Structure formats: C-alpha cells, structure tokens
Structure 1
Amino acid sequence: MSLKTSILGGIRAGIYRTVSPSLGKNFRGISPVSAFYSTTSQPQQYDSFEQRNTEKALFSRKTFLMDYYKHLNDSNDIVLFVHHNNVAKADNKKVRSDLKKAGAQLNVIRNSIYNVYLKSEHESDPAAAGVTNKNRGVKHPLSPLLNGPTAVITIPKCEPSVVNDVLKVIKNAQDKLILIGARVESSVFDVVEINKFKDLPNKEQLQAQLAGLLTILGGAGLVRTLETASSVLYLTMEQRLKDLDPSEKSEEESS
C-alpha cells in the first residue's frame, strides 16, 4: 500500500467515524423503528475500520450514505419526512437557519438508498455485504413516504414543543416544504397524528402534572414513596407485608 493510499484511507475512516460514532470496531445501536421487526442481528466485530466487508466499496458514496442515514436515525428520537419543491438558495439557507434555531436539522436524502437502508436498519451494519439482498423483500412502514424529492428533519429528543416550532417553519415555507409523515421513537405517524403530538406536554411536564394530581388527591405519601430510594422502598414494603400477615411475623419471632 502506497503512502498516499494509506493517508487517504485514514482521512476517510476518520470522516466515517465522525459521521457515525457507532462505526469502528463495533457496530451497535438499532434504530427505534426496528421494533417493527421480530429479529435483530448481533453486532459484527472488526479489528479495524478497513476490514469492513461492505456491499459496495468501503469508501463509495453509497456506503457513506448508508452509514450516514444510520447515524441520523440512531441519534434522533424524531425524524420528520417532507417533500421539498423548488427551494431557492436564499430560501434554503433561511429554512435551515430557522430549523437550527428550533433545535432541528434538515437533510435532503436519496430515496433509493434511504429505502435500502430502511429495509436493513435492524441489522448491526446495514451496509454489510449480503444484507441488502437478504432484506430485499422487507416492507418497511416508512417506505411509502419515499416518493419524489424528499428530505428529513431530525430532532434529537422527543420534545413535542420542538415539533411545534418546526411545523411553524414548514408552514412559513409555504408549498416549498410539505410534511408527509414522521417516525417518533418507535412509532410511525401520519400528518394528523403529528399535529396532535405537537400539542402534547413533554415527559417532564407529564411527570410533574401526575405528581401534582396525586398530591391534590391526597397521595402525597405515594409521591414521596415513589421518590424514595429502591432499598428503602423494599424495606418499607417488607414491613408492610409483615403488618398485614401476623403469621409471618410470629414465625420470625419463634425462630
């Protein structure tokens, strides 16, 4: 191997690891939608990045995109799918800036490669040799969305308020961006469900509301119990069991 080839390979390997932290020696992490499948594959082990046995050439554009799409899906709780239509350069810059302020990111995707990725997303390495052919017949619930010019808007955390802000950006873009569906954690949503989801409180707010409701209804003791350390909770429950079952208590005293 020439020095030039070695240096180039090292640079490309570094780019791949930056784009997808799950790549390298181990391939871990399964996208949430993989709950759709009944089987999962064990992570493949590699002594070095360049030993990956991929369907296409290791440093090809297709392998890069497969890895990048895996990274996007593994590192974001919410992925919104939109059709983009005649977005001028100036408009594109503004939309991306507004989405970034809202806590999201826009990525234009290649439908054919993204669809190949979706069919194999439950695999530890969707780009591995033989995987595409193995999953050729898989029907993924998101595949019907991949028609025409498509982009994904990714949101790291499952925050309805962020979705609400993103939908405002999409609305302001008028017909240049059209919402068509979404993946929210392990669920696939249509447009109606997304619009309902955006008005929901986040998990922390729901927990606070539940705690407040329990307190109002006289459940302050229960709230404190739920906040207690597990070891203390166990001892409390054990003592309560003895109080309810005197025979158990008498057996301990006789022993």
Structure 2
Amino acid sequence: MPPRIQPPSKAIASILRCRRPLRNQRQYATAAAITPAASHEQMTGGSPAISRFPATQPPSYKPPEFRKSQLLRQYASVLRSTPLMLIFQHNNLKSTEWIGIRRELSLALKKVDQARVAAGFPPENLADAIKLQTIQTGIFSSALRIVEYYKPEKQPQADPNGDGLTHVLSKAAHEAVSATKKVHPLAPLLSGPLVLLTFPTVSPQHLKAALSILAPSAPQFPPPTRRASPGWHDPGVQAGIQKLLLLGARVEGNVFDVEGTKWVGSIEGGLEGLRGQLVAMLQSIGAGVTNTLESAGKNLYFTVESRRTMLEDEAKGGSSEGSKKESKAE
C-alpha cells in the first residue's frame, strides 16, 4: 500500500491565513448590515409596530408560526366562504378506508355534474371543489365563535390604545371571543373526532349524492347499487362508512339537525326546483288575495244593488197606493 502524501506545513499555514480574513470579513459585513438599522431606529425614536411587518402578515396576538394559529385562520376562512357543510363524527378510520370513501364520493359527485350538463345546465364542476377533511375540534370551535360573534364593524375595540388590527389572530378578536358567554347552537355537536364535508354552493342534488354515499337511508337516500358503483360495496369502504355518523349541517349560517339536512337534500330539482316552488306559492298567494278582494267588492256591490232595488220597489208601491186613494176620493 503506497504511503499517504502528507501536505507540507507551509501549505496548511497558508490555507488557515486565507480563511481567517474571510470569516472576519463576513462577520464585519453582517454587523455593518445590522448596525445602521439599529442606529436609525435609535435616532428616529423607533418606528410603529405595524410598519415593521409586511402588509400580508400583520402582527398577531398569538405566534403565527404555530400550527394552531394557521389552523384557526384556515377554519375561519372555511366558515366564511362555505355556505353548506356537513359534520360527521368518525371513529378510527384507516387510511385505506379514507381513500376508498373519498374515491366513491368523488365518482358520485362527478355523475351529478354530468347529469346536470346533460340536462342543459352550464358546466360547474362542483365535484372538484367539494372536500372531505378532518378537523381539530377545539380550534374549529374557537374559529366558529370568532366568525359568528366577532363583528369589528359593529362593536368597539376592547383596548382603546390597541394596535387597530381586526383580523382573526388579532388581540381584539381574542378578547372579544374570550369575553362572550354566548353558546353557539352548533356547539353541542362539536365533540370528539369530527370530519367536515364542505360545498362551495348550496346544491341539493350534490348533497343528496353525498348522503347516499356517506349516510345512506332508504327511501330518500338509497345506497348505490352494485352495478352502478361496485367499489362502494368493497369491504374496506363499507367498514369506513359504518364508522361515520352524521351529526348535522350548517347551511347559510343556520344550524340543521339530521332531519333538516335530509330535507335540504330531498328538494326536487335542486335550487331551481325550490325557486319554482317559491314562485308558484307566491302566485297562488297573489291569486288568493285577488279573489278575496274581488269577492268583498262583489258582495258589497250586490248588497247595495239589492238595497236600491228594494227602495225603488217601495217607492213604486207607495206611489201606486197614493194614486188609488186619490181616485177613490174623486
């Protein structure tokens, strides 16, 4: 084995001498980059707290780098932008079961989109925007209270000397929610492991398809047949569906129980059918009011006419009797 070549000591010394100035220069450059900013803040008396943060990330009451803070922002955004959401309780679902349930749900929702396009409606592709996701129950409850009870445009700031921020993670939102004693109607359902099914719009047809997959109940929401959806009858998917329990729904800010949720999903023809029913109901009410008013006028007219006829008859009878008496007197 050939001996290793040892570098001369002079070469090692030259390398060390070359590295030392670079390290010192780098430290000096860092210090030079920091020192002017600090001296500028000391000379100007410091800048406001908000101006030291970017406009896209204002300061918050809780550290925004924590996962809980980001989940709070996400849940608040979902609550404000989602008009329809279903709440399920899940019990130790496996990853394979989640995959099968999401697959069958996506297939069923895409069939609804295709049926609407075949019926002449414009393509919307709502199936891609409908999401099934698990949530942290406690953080979701806090986000729900902030969205429902914290109205910065209607209530004054808790601290008059505050920073003026009103976003979800601000100190004002935290104090407003912590001071409230109101209990949201959805609070009794927020217990245990939960999963949300969110819809970008209120679509009874998509809701009916989702209930037929996740919580089937005949005759309104029958499960798919084996020929139409063979994957839904797989043992893994069936085991996962048995671990899901429908608790309720939140529709346009209103809380619905299981029966109310099924009523929304059972609306025939979707929102278009509901609008048609509303128009027909309003037309029937208008026709009923018109008939009532016309009947009152007709009754009054007939009463006046009958009274006038009676007075005319009495007048004619009185004049004929007077003429008879005059003729007898002659």
Q: Same fold (TM over 0.5)?
A: yes
Is it true that 1:205 corresponds to 2:212 in the alignment? no
Is it true that 1:66 corresponds to 2:72 in the alignment? yes
- 2:212 aligned partner: 168
- 1:151 aligned partner: 195
Calculate percent identity across the aligned residue pairs. Answer: 26
- 1:181 aligned partner: 248
Is it true that 1:48 corresponds to 2:55 in the alignment? yes
Counterpart CA distance in 1 for 2:184 and 2:283 is 44
- Choose between structure 1 and 2: higher helix proportion: 2
- 2:291 aligned partner: none
Does the 8 Å CA contact 2:204/2:271 hold for their aligned counterparts?
no
- 2:183 aligned partner: 139
| Cα distance change, pair 114–208 in 1 and its aligned pair in 2 (3 A) | same
Unaligned runs of 5+ in 2: 1-29, 31-52, 110-126, 151-165, 216-237, 288-330
- 2:145 aligned partner: 119
Does the 8 Å CA contact 1:118/1:143 hold for their aligned counterparts?
no
**Which structure has the larger Rg?**
2
Does the 8 Å CA contact 1:115/1:146 hold for their aligned counterparts?
yes
Question: How far 1:193 sits from its partner (Å)?
Answer: 1.0
Question: How far 1:108 sits from its partner (Å)?
Answer: 0.7
| Cα distance change, pair 181–213 in 1 and its aligned pair in 2 (3 A) | closer
**Aligned pair partner of 1:129 in 171, 180, 194:** 171
Question: How far 1:99 sits from its partner (Å)?
Answer: 3.0
How many corresponding residue pairs? 174
Counterpart CA distance in 2 for 1:185 and 1:210 is 18
Question: How far 1:214 sits from its partner (Å)?
Answer: 8.8
TM-score, length of structure 1 as denominator length: 0.60
| Cα distance change, pair 206–195 in 1 and its aligned pair in 2 (3 A) | closer
Counterpart CA distance in 1 for 2:259 and 2:76 is 27
Deviations 1:48-74 (A, max 9, x none): 122x23221122211210111122122
Does the 8 Å CA contact 1:54/1:63 hold for their aligned counterparts?
no
Unaligned runs of 5+ in 1: 3-45, 220-255
**Aligned pair partner of 1:57 in 63, 73, 96:** 63
**Aligned pair partner of 2:258 in 184, 187, 191:** 191
Question: How far 1:205 sits from its partner (Å)?
Answer: 2.3
Is it true that 1:109 corresponds to 2:177 in the alignment? no
Deviations 1:82-111 (A, max 9, x none): 101121111101112233342321111111
| Cα distance change, pair 215–115 in 1 and its aligned pair in 2 (3 A) | closer
Question: How far 1:76 sits from its partner (Å)?
Answer: 1.6
| Cα distance change, pair 169–144 in 1 and its aligned pair in 2 (3 A) | same
Question: How far 1:77 sits from its partner (Å)?
Answer: 1.2
Matched residue type, 1:191: V
Does the 8 Å CA contact 2:101/2:241 hold for their aligned counterparts?
no
Counterpart CA distance in 2 for 1:57 and 1:64 is 10
Does the 8 Å CA contact 2:250/2:256 hold for their aligned counterparts?
yes
Equivalent residues in 2 for 1:17-56 (5 A)?
Answer: 48-50=55-57, 52-56=58-62
| Cα distance change, pair 212–142 in 1 and its aligned pair in 2 (3 A) | closer
Is it true that 1:88 corresponds to 2:107 in the alignment? no
- Counterpart of 1:181 in 2: which secondary structure? strand
Task: Choose 179-188 or 201-210, whichever is displaced more.
Answer: 201-210
Matched residue type, 2:259: V
State the superposition RMSD in angstroms.
2.8
Does the 8 Å CA contact 1:55/1:127 hold for their aligned counterparts?
yes
- Counterpart of 2:247 in 1: which secondary structure? strand
- Counterpart of 1:54 in 2: which secondary structure? coil
TM-score, length of structure 2 as denominator length: 0.47
Question: How far 1:206 sits from its partner (Å)?
Answer: 2.9
| Cα distance change, pair 76–98 in 1 and its aligned pair in 2 (3 A) | farther
